[in-house]
A and B are shown apart, each in its own frame.
Chain A
Amino acid sequence: MKHLPLPVFSLFVIALPLILSNNYYLMALNIAALNVVIVIGLNLLMGYAGQISLGHAAFFGLGAYLSAILTTTCGFPVWPTIPAAMAITAVVAYLIGIPTLKLEGHYLVMATLGFNVIVYIVMIQLSAVTGGPSGFAGIPRLQIGGFAFDSDLKIYYLFWAVAILVLILSLNLIHSRAGRAMAALSHNEIAARCTGIDTETYKVKIFVISAALASLAGSLYAHYISFISPGSFSIFFSLQAVTMVLVGGMGSVWGSLFGAILLSLLPEVLHSVKEYNVLVYGFILMAVLMFFPRGLFPAGRSFCIAMIRKKT
């Protein structure tokens, strides 16, 4: 029973393109897969280390721009560049993490937000390297040997394989010793420290991991769309990622999967409100926090369990 959801979900992912052949939907699902990677990483930080980052768009952007610049401008091969970009982003996150994670709650929110603004402005102003506000085009697409990931369907299987891998690794992580230590840390940092958990190190480590995951998603995004511009990496995207975590429920990995897919596809469903995207996001964020502070996914699950119990 415990291991059932994963194979069921994987089968569903494999079968979905058989029903859904429209490229437009596939593209939306591909972006959703990348969001899943970012949101699961961010949830590890928010739900298990109790820290909120409003700067994950910056790490996403670092991954995308590093991949773009290293492959297109410097001519490095694509595949080794992706882990290289992750490593550089991880170092940046480490350097920022050490001082910021000492701060409490909302100070950290502001510090990461400030970091995001800095990265965004640098992307725009450093136009000689980044292409400035008009963006960076001509990023090479992904391929292995002679096999090119040149269709949305091929990308779909690649991205969802990555997303499911990240899901499995995260589930393993939270059920490990480190995961339990982090859970203790998120409930009560002082109590956790008193029981001998090195809270500082755990917080920095998880911050670095979640930044590296965002960077991975950024690299894949850049090689998929082959064009990136600073607009995709503004603080609005950081807010979207946090909203996805909160809608799915902090501390629930499956919830993150749910939140990321739901909110990635929502704008596609609500075509008519595209202009009011911002308005809708703000409203959802407020409403969920007010009425379901634990998230929609855990609330829905306990509701279902209650209904089943009632019947039997």
Chain B
Amino acid sequence: MPQLVKLFQFTLSGLTTGSTYALIAIGFSIIHNATGIVNFAQGEFVMLGGMFMITFYGYLKLPMAAAFVLSVFAVAIIGLLLEKTALRPSRSQEVLNLVMITVGASIFIKGLSMAVWGKSAMTLAPFSGEDPILILGAAIMPQSIWIFGITLAVVAALSAFFVKTRTGKAMRAVAASRRSAMLAGIPVNRMIALSFFLSGALGAVAGIILTPVTTISYDAGIMLGLKGFSAAILGGYGSMIGAVAGGLLLGVLESLGAGLVSSEYKDVLAFLILLIVLFFKPGGIFGKGASRRV
């Protein structure tokens, strides 16, 4: 049954990229829950993660684990800086104004990255070899297993953080109602800063594990950000389970589309899905119907 094996193969590779979309989508959700804005620079965090990893691991020859931690931390700090230096001091705190500031930040980071790392695409060696492992006739790269494993670990850790820890609960309280959280004595501004820090870290992880599969260049951020956003919309904006489901679903649909229909129009397919979902079910697959208080 070669046709079935082929489908299985496409699904596997779709789940691989889908896992990174899920991480990016969670980053979108965390910031959205804390502030109500869409952070257009989320994709740049992913690109920066890959770039830092290449710099620390590929050029400076640091041990892999150290390079990983350093890259994640560096991008998390950049996320924090975005909030502290661009969004917090803004004179208008209107949502659309803040959203457009992140658009500006995204172009700015892109331009800066071009100046630092140049225009050509950079590669990163897979974490452990390139010998494919055969499962039921389909080949799976060791890097894919890394991607699944790390995504799973990150999602598990985040879930535990939001459910078990005081800080996580405080962040959820801010998401539920900023004013009530403030009245309950939660340092809201610190929680907002933390959400940018976390989103930066999540984006970096996605970038680091994805780079060995796809290579990375200074202008890759927008596309990755859009994919992550599509995933977040697909699953229902703001929900973590939705982000994971949306990411995996988008990855699989994209991979099946590329394999069975046409690889040139792979990205078109992703956005058509986004537009169709926005048109027919703006709340996402897992979302509830939106209602607004006047």
Contacts and interface: CB of A to CB of B under 8 A. Distances in A.
Partners in one complex: yes
A307 interface: no
Interface in A46-85: 52, 54
Interface residues of A, number: 44
Nearest to B91: A293
Interface in A73-127: 99-100, 102-103, 105-107, 109-111, 113-115, 117-118, 121-122, 125
A236 B223 CA distance: 12
Contacts of A246: 100
Contact of B99 (A103, A105, A275): A105
B274 A106 contact: no
Given A114-B230, A279-B115, A290-B86, A109 B271 contact: no
Nearest to B86: A286
Interface in B82-122: 86, 89-92, 94-97, 99-101, 103-112, 114-115
Interface stretch (B64-72, B203-211, B275-283): B275-283
A242 B100 contact: yes
B226 interface: yes
A277 B96 CA distance: 24
A9 interface: no
A111 B278 contact: yes
A28 B38 CA distance: 35
Q: A-side binding surface: helix, strand, loop or mixed? A: helix
Interface string A270-292: 00000111111111111001111
A115 B268 CA distance: 9
Contacts of B99: 105-106, 109
Interface in B32-53: 37-38
A101 to B, nearest CB: 11
B222 A109 contact: no
Contacts of B101: 285-286, 289-290
B105 A282 contact: yes
B125 interface: no
A103 B278 contact: yes
Interface residues of B, number: 44
Most buried by B among A235, A281, A289: A289
A190 interface: yes
B265 interface: yes
- The B contact surface, by secondary structure, is helix
A236 B111 CA distance: 12
Contact of A121 (B103, B233, B268, B274): B268
Contacts of B105: 282, 286
Given A100-B278, A289-B100, A289-B104, A109 B268 contact: no
B182 to A, nearest CB: 24
B107 A239 contact: yes
B294 interface: yes
A42 to B, nearest CB: 13
A243 B282 CA distance: 27
B226 A113 contact: yes
A125 B264 contact: yes
B160 to A, nearest CB: 30
Contact of A278 (B97, B114, B279): B114
Given A99-B279, A105-B99, A110 B274 contact: yes
B108 A282 contact: yes
Given A99-B279, A106-B95, A280-B111, A122 B268 contact: yes
A289 B275 contact: no
Contacts of B278: 99-100, 103, 107, 110-111
A118 B90 contact: no
Contacts of A280: 111
Contact of A282 (B94, B95, B109, B222): B109
Interface of A: 52, 54, 99-100, 102-103, 105-107, 109-111, 113-115, 117-118, 121-122, 125, 190, 235-236, 239, 242-243, 246, 275-286, 289-293
22 contacts: A52-B100, A106-B38, A109-B99, A110-B226, A117-B267, A121-B265, A122-B268, A239-B107, A242-B100, A275-B115, A276-B115, A278-B111, A279-B114, A279-B115, A282-B106, A282-B109, A284-B104, A289-B101, A290-B86, A290-B89, A291-B91, A293-B90
Which are the 8 A-B pairs with shortest beta-carbon distances? A279-B111, A282-B108, A282-B107, A285-B104, A293-B92, A286-B104, A278-B111, A114-B271
Given A278-B107, A286-B101, 19 more contacts: A52-B96, A100-B275, A105-B96, A106-B95, A110-B274, A114-B226, A114-B271, A117-B226, A121-B267, A190-B294, A239-B107, A243-B104, A246-B100, A279-B115, A283-B108, A285-B104, A285-B108, A289-B97, A289-B100
